[in-house]
């Protein structure tokens, strides 16, 4: 402990004229040091961020030119999500019709309800979600969308290249101020 043996062992008694030196206690109050120690611990704990990055898996399909080998999606169960610029998401169910009347606009925050609606109204074996990011989409939006699939527990989804007609539609919608 923080004391030392200060008794002078085996000294002869000093003469009568010699004053005894006052024995100062060597005991130190350690309270401030404990305070400091715990202060540093709390400081380090609070400033440390647990930076263990996580990873999400993605499996890619093999590219095949042979249409026989390609996965087919039932039209009634398909939902196509197009990711535009600045969080805008466009979607249509089934096939895009000639007048693009089923082409709808949404945003990244509201798309979840669209996905949930589709999931509730479609038998699970038929449900396929097709994600088509446009050239304006950022990596974050793509990852968010893939994450949305995990969040809504979608079993079948695919990341597919956008078609020209679809990117033109997005441009037209953006141009007309359909999405901010």
Cα 24 from chain centre: 62
What is the footprint of other proteins within residues 70-129 (CB under 8 A)?
A: 83, 112, 116, 119
Residues linked to residue 90 through DSSP beta bridges, in sequence order:
82, 105
Question: Please, what is the minimum distance in Å from the beta carbon of residue 172 to other proteins?
Answer: 20
Helix or strand holding residue 44 (H, E):
helix 31-47
Q: Is 15 left (phi over 0), alpha (psi -120 to 50) or beta?
A: beta
Q: Which two tokens stand for residue 129?
A: 């979600």
Strands 128-133 and 78-83: parallel
Q: At what angle do helices 111-121 and 139-151 cross, to 10 degrees?
A: 40
Distance of closest approach, residue 115 Cβ to other proteins, in angstroms: 10
- 94 CB contacts (<8 Å, ≥6 apart)? 75, 76, 78, 102
The CB-of-144 to other proteins minimum distance in angstroms stands at 6
Of 36-75, binders to other proteins (CB under 8 A) are 37-38, 40-41, 44-45, 48, 51-63
29 binds other proteins (CB under 8 A): yes
| Using rule CB under 8 A, residue 24 touches other proteins | no
Nearer to other proteins, 7 or 54 (CB): 54
Q: In angstroms, what is the minimal distance from the CB of 145 to other proteins?
A: 10
**Residues binding other proteins (CB under 8 A):** 1-2, 29-31, 33-34, 37-38, 40-41, 44-45, 48, 51-63, 83, 112, 116, 119, 133-144, 146-147, 150-153, 159, 161
């Amino acid at each position: 402990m923080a004391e030392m043996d200060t008794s002078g062992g085996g000294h002869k008694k000093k003469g009568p004229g010699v004053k005894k030196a006052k024995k100062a206690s060597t005991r130190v109050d350690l309270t401030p040091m404990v305070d400091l120690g715990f202060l540093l611990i709390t400081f380090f704990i609070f400033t440390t961020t647990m930076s263990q990055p996580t990873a999400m898996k993605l499996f890619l399909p093999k590219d095949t030119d042979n249409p026989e080998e390609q996965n087919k999606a039932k039209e009634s169960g398909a939902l196509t999500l197009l990711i535009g610029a600045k969080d805008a998401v466009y979607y249509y169910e089934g096939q895009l019709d000639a007048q693009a009347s089923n082409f709808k606009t949404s945003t990244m925050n509201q798309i979840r309800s669209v996905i949930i609606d589709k999931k509730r109204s479609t038998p699970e074996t038929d449900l396929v979600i097709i994600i088509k990011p446009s050239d304006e989409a950022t990596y974050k939006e793509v990852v968010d969308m893939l994450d949305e699939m995990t969040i809504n527990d979608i079993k079948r989804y695919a990341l597919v290249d956008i078609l020209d007609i679809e990117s033109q539609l997005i441009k037209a919608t953006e141009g007309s101020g359909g999405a901010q």
